[in-house]
């Protein structure tokens, strides 16, 4: 277990609403001191963290770990390595694996594998319907008992409104969370990018904002009708933000997330038929991007989730129309979030909140934050550290990032989980 003294940290802890400069003492893996000036006891390793942030271990509620079934893209082990390199100690594993996580045995397998890896916490999300077919509900009770934390057919929407209603109703028995991948499949059909100026420029078929908006509204209304808890995944349009904002005002139990690419990029990134900018929902326009940022600012959007979606070069180095949707995101989330802080759009506290307290509240996860007595579950962020996004510098098994070749500013440099150091970029701790 870890014994270490971090000097001169900028502690940003939204769990305890603390933002302060302090020293942080960790003994036996547990936080034992958090004060202005801690004198190091003999022999304890001391690191000066001047200029760096110490925050609670980040939480990503939308990660595709690909295991079981597509281990050539990512495994639970490589996914966790990528997570901790990005500063995340908790990830929610999306269920669209092969087989999908629609039974307690798959849920138990994921939890078991994660435990063997022993790098971070994996909380499985189970499917809403059996085999994601959209016809029959999965065994919510059994899946929750096995350790599932929410239900989602992510990758696919629940097409039938009555099935979605049944899911939300049945979830009431367990106060379970339903996560909606909101997309009107018929409207989105044949579309491979956002419908707009760029799709017309590139001669590609488009997916209109309305494909997302219509389904977001449907699911919000069903949550309102049933009184159940609903979470909207990867919000990308300005209209969806507005629908959720007004639903929250009415008291609907709805939360939502966006992904870093929706506040960092627009449809322009598809120029040159760039398959690394192909995702679902697609990158939208500047107007949407600004509305997403406003949603993050005013609290309409509860959290930042990566939608980390690893694909091998087989699925990406091909014709645009054939290419798979999705990008990896665990390792670039912090630098992209930091851009908003540097532009003065979000305060450091707001950003950390969106990546810790925000997601915890959505899934009902209790965490203690940075306070004495807690087992260390912390991330050290260096807001200035240059991060060259290259395949060699990424820990994920896949490298499908639109930021490949760029140098981003700031990243996680140390990650502590359950009192152990699980990531140490510059070898400062060990």
Q: Could you give the residue numbers annotated as active site?
A: 307
CA distances from 246 to 243, 358, 413 (A): 5, 19, 39
Q: Is 116 in the site for another protein (CB under 8 A)?
A: no
Q: Determine which residue in the list 17, 98, 115, 322 makes contact with another protein, applying CB under 8 A.
A: 322
Q: Is 50 in the site for another protein (CB under 8 A)?
A: no
Q: Among residues 350 and 398, whose Cβ is nearest to Zn ion?
A: 398
Rounded Cα gap, residues 153 and 132, in angstroms: 6
Q: Is 428 in the site for another protein (CB under 8 A)?
A: no
> Nearest to residue 331, comparing CAs of 396, 423, 409?
396
Q: Is 134 in the site for another protein (CB under 8 A)?
A: no
Q: Is 185 in the site for another protein (CB under 8 A)?
A: no
Task: Say if residues 149 and 137 touch (Cβ distance below 8 Å).
Answer: no
Longest dimension (CA), the chain: 68
Q: Among residues 256 and 381, whose Cβ is nearest to Zn ion?
A: 256
Q: In the Cβ-directed half-sphere of 53, how many Cα atoms lie within 13 Å? A: 28
Task: Say if residues 56 and 15 touch (Cβ distance below 8 Å).
Answer: yes
When CB distances to Zn ion are compared, the closest residue is 181
Q: Which residues bind to Zn ion, rule: CB under 5 A?
A: 154, 181
195 binds, among Zn ion, another protein, none (CB under 5 to 8 A by kind): another protein
273 binds, among Zn ion, another protein, none (CB under 5 to 8 A by kind): another protein
Q: Among residues 175 and 317, whose Cβ is nearest to another protein?
A: 317
The least CB distance from residue 162 to another protein, in Å, is 24
Q: What is the β-pairing status of strands 88-93 and 121-126? A: parallel
Q: Determine which residue in the list 161, 201, 225, 246 makes contact with another protein, applying CB under 8 A.
A: 201
SS (H, E, C) 186-241: HHHCCCCEECCHHHHHHCCCEECHHHHHHHHHHHHHHHHHHCCEEEECCCCCHHHH
Q: Among residues 181 and 308, whose Cβ is nearest to Zn ion?
A: 181
154 binds, among another protein, Zn ion, none (CB under 5 to 8 A by kind): Zn ion
3-state secondary structure of 46: strand
Q: Is 320 in the site for another protein (CB under 8 A)?
A: yes
Q: Identify residues 366-385 at the interface with another protein (CB under 8 A).
A: none
Q: Is 236 in the site for another protein (CB under 8 A)?
A: no
Count of residues touching another protein (by CB under 8 A)? 20
The least CB distance from residue 199 to another protein, in Å, is 7
283 binds, among Zn ion, another protein, none (CB under 5 to 8 A by kind): none
Long-range contacts of 251-255 (CB under 8 A, 24+ apart): 252/220, 252/223, 252/224, 253/223, 253/227, 253/228, 253/229, 254/220, 254/223, 254/229, 254/230, 255/229, 255/230, 255/231, 255/302, 255/303, 255/361, 255/362
Q: Among residues 23 and 195, whose Cβ is nearest to another protein?
A: 195
- Kindly indicate which of the ranges 21-29, 34-42, 201-209, 257-265 contains the residues binding another protein, using the contact rule CB under 8 A: 201-209
Q: Is 197 in the site for another protein (CB under 8 A)?
A: yes
How many Cβ atoms are within 10 Å of 279's Cβ, its own excluded?
26
Q: Is 317 in the site for another protein (CB under 8 A)?
A: yes
The least CB distance from residue 325 to Zn ion, in Å, is 9
The least CB distance from residue 295 to Zn ion, in Å, is 18
Q: Is 287 in the site for another protein (CB under 8 A)?
A: no
Q: Among residues 199 and 401, whose Cβ is nearest to another protein?
A: 199
Structure tokens at 12: 């940003």
Task: Say if residues 367 and 377 touch (Cβ distance below 8 Å).
Answer: yes
How many Cβ atoms are within 10 Å of 301's Cβ, its own excluded?
28
Q: Determine which residue in the list 87, 196, 326, 419 makes contact with another protein, applying CB under 8 A.
A: 196
Q: In the Cβ-directed half-sphere of 365, how many Cα atoms lie within 13 Å? A: 27
Q: Is 426 in the site for another protein (CB under 8 A)?
A: no
3-state secondary structure of 95: coil
Residues lying near another protein in the complex (CB under 8 A): 190, 195-197, 199-206, 272-273, 317-322
């Amino acid at each position: 277990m870890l014994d270490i003294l971090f000097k001169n940290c900028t502690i940003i802890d939204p769990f305890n609403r603390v933002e302060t400069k302090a020293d942080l003492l960790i003994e036996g893996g547990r936080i034992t001191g958090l004060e202005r000036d801690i004198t190091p006891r003999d022999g304890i390793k001391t690191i000066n963290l001047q200029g760096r942030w110490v925050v609670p271990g980040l939480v990503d509620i939308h990660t595709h770990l690909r295991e079981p079934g597509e281990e050539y893209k990512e495994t639970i082990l490589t996914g966790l390595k990528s997570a901790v390199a990005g500063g995340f100690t908790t990830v929610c594993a999306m269920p669209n694996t092969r087989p999908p996580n629609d039974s307690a045995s798959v849920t138990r397998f994921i939890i078991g594998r994660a435990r063997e890896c022993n790098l971070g916490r994996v909380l499985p999300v189970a499917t809403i319907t059996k085999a994601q077919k959209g016809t029959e509900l999965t065994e919510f009770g059994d899946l929750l008992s096995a350790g599932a934390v929410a239900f989602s057919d992510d990758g696919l929407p629940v097409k039938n409104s009555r099935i979605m209603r049944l899911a939300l109703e049945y979830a009431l028995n367990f106060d379970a969370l339903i996560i909606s991948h909101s997309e009107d499949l018929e409207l989105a059909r044949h579309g491979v990018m956002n419908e707009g100026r760029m799709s017309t420029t590139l001669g590609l078929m488009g997916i209109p904002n309305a494909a997302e908006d219509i389904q977001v509204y449907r699911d919000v209304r069903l949550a309102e009708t049933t009184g159940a808890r609903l979470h909207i995944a990867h919000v990308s349009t300005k209209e969806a933000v507005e629908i959720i904002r007004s639903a929250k005002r009415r008291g609907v139990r709805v939360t939502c997330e966006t992904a870093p690419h929706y506040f960092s990029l627009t449809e322009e990134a598809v120029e040159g038929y760039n398959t690394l900018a192909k995702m679902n929902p697609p990158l939208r326009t500047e107007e949407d991007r600004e509305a997403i940022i406003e949603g993050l600012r005013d609290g309409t959007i509860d959290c930042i989730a990566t939608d980390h979606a690893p694909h091998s070069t087989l699925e990406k180095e091909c014709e645009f129309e054939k290419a798979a949707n999705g990008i990896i995101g665990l390792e670039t989330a912090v630098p992209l979030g930091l851009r908003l802080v540097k532009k003065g759009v979000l305060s450091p506290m707001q950003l950390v909140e969106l990546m810790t307290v925000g997601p915890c509240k959505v899934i009902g996860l209790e965490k203690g934050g940075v306070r004495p007595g807690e087992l260390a579950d912390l991330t050290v962020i260096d807001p200035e550290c240059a991060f060259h996004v290259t395949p060699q510098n990424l820990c994920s098994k896949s490298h499908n990032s639109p930021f490949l070749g760029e140098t981003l500013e700031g990243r996680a440099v140390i990650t502590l989980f359950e009192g152990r150091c699980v990531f140490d970029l510059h070898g400062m701790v060990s």
